Amino acid sequence: MEFRLLTLLAREPGRAFTAREILQHLWETDYVGRPTACKAHISNLRQKIEHDRTRPRRIVTVPGGGYSLEG
């Protein structure tokens, strides 16, 4: 799941993907359940690729917009 998430974000660096878009991509379905599942996947990925996951620089939260991959 984390690799699929990273691949999605890397397709369009700088673009904010909503939690719904992310979960639809990961689960390949329109039903995505609760957005908190997205937070868990983002947190797991940040733990692996960020130097300091409490201050992420690569996978950033976009207020009101979701998450994006930054250079």
In the chain, the N- to C-terminal Cα span, in Å, equals 21
Q: What does the mean pLDDT of the chain come to? A: 92
pTM confidence score:
0.88
Q: How far is CA 30 from the centre of its chain?
A: 17
pLDDT digits (tens, 9 = 90+) for 6-33: 999 999 999 999 999 999 999 888 887 7
Q: What does the pLDDT read at residue 55? A: 95
Section 38-51 average pLDDT: 95
Q: In this predicted structure, what is the pLDDT of residue 4?
A: 95
Amino acid at position 36, single letter: T
Domains defined along the chain, listed by start? 2-69 (1.10.10.10)
Q: Where are the alpha helices (DSSP H) in 1-71?
A: 2-11, 19-27, 36-49
Q: Considering only CA atoms, which of 45, 52, 47 is closest in space to residue 26?
A: 45
Q: What is the pLDDT of residue 32?
A: 76
